Amino acid sequence: MLHNFLFSPFSDAGQGQLYEQVRDILRAEASTGTTLLLGNFAVEEEGVALDAVIVRPHSITLLVLVPRGGQLQVPALSYGAWQLDGKPLAGTLATADNPYEQFRRQKAALAAWLSSQFAPEQANLQFITGLVVFAAPVTFGSSVEEQLTQQPDGSFHLLGNLQQLSRRLVQLARPEIDFSEADLAEWARTLAAPEQEAEISSAEPFYSEAEEPVATLPAERSFLRRAWGWLGAEDVPEDVPYGGQPAARAAASTAEKQRLEQMQREAQAQVQQQLQALEAREAERERRIEELRNQLAQAPPVTTEAQELQERLATESQEKAALEAAIQASRAESEARNRDLDAKIMQLGQLIEQLNTRTAATAGPLQATPAARGGSQLPKQRQRLLRTAAVVGGVTLLGAGVWGLSRLGGTSAATAPVSTATAGSGSATEHTRPAAESVTTDPAPANDSDAPSVEEAYEARYPYVDGYARVRMKGGAYTFIDQNGHPFSATYLEARDFLEGYAAVRDQRGWQYITGPEPEDPATPPFLFLEAYSFRDGLARVRLEPGYTYITKRNLAGQGPSVFQLYEAATDFENGRAEVTLRGDRFIIDSTGQPVE
């Protein structure tokens, strides 16, 4: 059931129409539980209004309403204006450069306000999500998704098609936010309570499935009445009108006044006594100080030997202070090194544990291999291996030739993977990953008549990279298809494009890497990460529990630990360089992990 609260009309007619479309979509949903829609909503008096907030049992979503559409380009995520259909796109806030900057500021204000409304076990306000809703369809440029991946928490999203709002809200649900239906219903009744009073009309219309909007009042008066209700002061009785107070109540009030006046006089007397005692102690202290000064004036002068002793004592004290400072600095440096060593030991322990798991799984087949007997048997085995390799190579070349002829003769109508020339180079580099909700219209290669139609089988297909194309199935899951349009047998919650022979994917266990459509071997479980990104220059950025680091393809094969440290923040490698943050210091490293000047 939808509870709609529009606190004041939108000054922008386009935003008002877009808000009504959002309301109609939420109202048309069936069996979604209780939903609260707060429109043009300010969390504090005289504050800037939020465009819209959607509250559901497992999500709190802050909407940024953009009454436009077209091609979107994001030069930078956190600063500067975006470009929408060739025109600047700034936030609705006067001080916000773009919708993401507006979301960050309004999220902090909304979290501060909600923290007084709900207990921490009801809602972890760090999981408030943001969604930019466009009035017209939007296509995303190549820079959009690259900028979105720079978010530390991934809570900000773009919705290119308004009709996908309901499904996107389902995907944004988080177990860390857990409102019961009773909690949301009680909150809705609290917001609607001022409308039910007879003496005034409501400041915000209340909509439901069977109700129409009622009259509105100014937003300032509405906010004060809601604040009065949220503070639980609605049960405070109204003041008695002048001239209507009974005599008994007046007498009781007079007695209470006299009692309070008596308490005030007693308190003043106690304060006066305390002040007098303080003045007496201060006078005694002044007398003692004067006596000490007189004694010091009458004392004999200090001898030269005593003066030298005082100088030596002062020197020793300074050296002691310097030594203590050096000891403190040494301890701090030792603690920092111990923390680095602990982090590396933890990382090595995780890698050793995974390597031990793989070793135990492969120990049986290795032990079953017969050992070589005699010195002449090894050359014979090597000759058989060389002959076998030659036969396999010939068959492979023959198959490649047949395949190439078939491609030249029968697949001229197939569309090649989308590629974009990289600035400053002479080669074309395929897109690594399109933006959220971007739907690639390039059809998959159609050289296999048995492959299903991409437009019928998948919701979106992304460009081919390294021979595979990432697709999003109906329902939100991801998989890959090969050049013939055949999908992988496994599906994933999230996936990135293939780069340098590997693709980062996430299932229920976490992020991992795959190399193709081959199913996972139960005997050799994959390495799991909290986050994983595509390989660049032979290195991939991953996040473990202690922080970020980089791995190579040899690390994935279990051949040695990573040579990189654990960083607080890190970026992907570009041209052999990456930016990292270690103990608050930000600097550039090369592909060997060494700082670069």
CB 521 within 8 A of CB 362: no
Instruction: Determine the Cα–Cα distance for residues 583 and 597; give it in Å rounded to an integer.
Output: 18
Render pLDDT for 211-237 as a digit per residue (tens, 0 to 9): 444 334 444 445 556 655 665 555 555
Q: What is the pLDDT of residue 352?
A: 73
Instruction: Determine the Cα–Cα distance for residues 589 and 597; give it in Å rounded to an integer.
Output: 9
Mean pLDDT, range 290-306, rounded to an integer: 79
Structure tokens that stand for 364 in this block: 């049986």
Neighbours of 571 (CB within 10 A): 18
Q: Smallest Cα–Cα separation from 91: which of 68, 60, 61, 66? A: 66
Q: Smallest Cα–Cα separation from 159: which of 187, 179, 130? A: 130
245 or 188: which leads in pLDDT: 188
404, pLDDT greater than 50 = no
What is the CATH topology of the domain spanning 439-519? Thrombin, subunit H (2.40.10)
Q: What is the DSSP pairing of strand 35-41 with strand 2-6?
A: parallel
Q: What is the pLDDT of residue 319?
A: 84
Q: What is the pLDDT of residue 569?
A: 96
CB 122 within 8 A of CB 179: yes
294, pLDDT greater than 90 = no
* pLDDT more than 90, % of the chain: 25
Render pLDDT for 311-346 as a digit per residue (tens, 0 to 9): 888 888 888 888 888 888 877 887 777 777 777 777
100, pLDDT greater than 50 = yes
Tokens 């600047």 -> residue: 88
Q: What is the pLDDT of residue 290?
A: 86
Of the pLDDT bands very low, low, confident and very high (cuts 50, 70, 90), residue 437 is very low
Instruction: Determine the Cα–Cα distance for residues 364 and 543; give it in Å rounded to an integer.
Output: 33
Q: What is the pLDDT of residue 515?
A: 94
Render pLDDT for 363-401 as a digit per residue (tens, 0 to 9): 444 443 343 334 434 444 444 444 544 444 544 544 444
Beta bridge partners of 130: 62, 156
Mean pLDDT, range 175-195, rounded to an integer: 82
Structure tokens that stand for 273 in this block: 């006594």
Instruction: Determine the Cα–Cα distance for residues 596 and 568; give it in Å rounded to an integer.
Output: 18
Mean pLDDT, range 425-454, rounded to an integer: 41
Q: What is the pLDDT of residue 235?
A: 57
Mean pLDDT, range 258-263, rounded to an integer: 83
Q: Hey, which bits of 30-179 come out as E strands?
A: 35-41, 50-56, 59-66, 70-73, 82-84, 87-89, 129-134, 138-140, 156-159
How is 449-471 classified by DSSP, letter by letter? TTSPPHHHHEEEEEEEETTEEEE
Ranges 223-227, 255-259, 263-267, 593-597, most confident = 593-597
Ranges 232-241, 338-347, 353-362, most confident = 338-347
Mean pLDDT, range 532-551, rounded to an integer: 95
Instruction: Determine the Cα–Cα distance for residues 416 and 467; give it in Å rounded to an integer.
Output: 11
Helix (H) or strand (E) holding 543: strand 539-543
* pLDDT more than 70, % of the chain: 71
Q: What is the pLDDT of residue 222?
A: 53
42 or 587: which leads in pLDDT: 587
Q: Smallest Cα–Cα separation from 526: which of 542, 538, 537? A: 542
Task: Give the 3-state secondary structure of residue 2.
Answer: strand
Query: Which amino acid is it at 202?
Result: S
Q: Smallest Cα–Cα separation from 432: which of 553, 589, 540? A: 540
Helix (H) or strand (E) holding 366: helix 304-367
Mean pLDDT, range 251-271, rounded to an integer: 81
Instruction: Determine the Cα–Cα distance for residues 544 and 550; give it in Å rounded to an integer.
Output: 10
Render pLDDT for 128-181 as a digit per residue (tens, 0 to 9): 999 999 989 999 888 888 888 877 777 889 998 888 888 888 888 888 888 888
Sketch the domain layout of the chain as residue ranges.
2-230, 439-519, 529-597
Query: Which amino acid is it at 539?
Result: L
Q: Could you tell me what percentage of the chain is helix, strand and coil, using 3-state DSSP and rounding each to the nearest 5?
A: 40, 20, 40
Instruction: Determine the Cα–Cα distance for residues 74 and 141; give it in Å rounded to an integer.
Output: 8
Mean pLDDT, range 195-222, rounded to an integer: 44
Helix (H) or strand (E) holding 167: helix 165-171
Mean per-residue pLDDT of the chain: 76
Mean pLDDT, range 583-597, rounded to an integer: 93
Lowest-pLDDT choice from 67-71, 166-170, 199-203, 582-586: 199-203
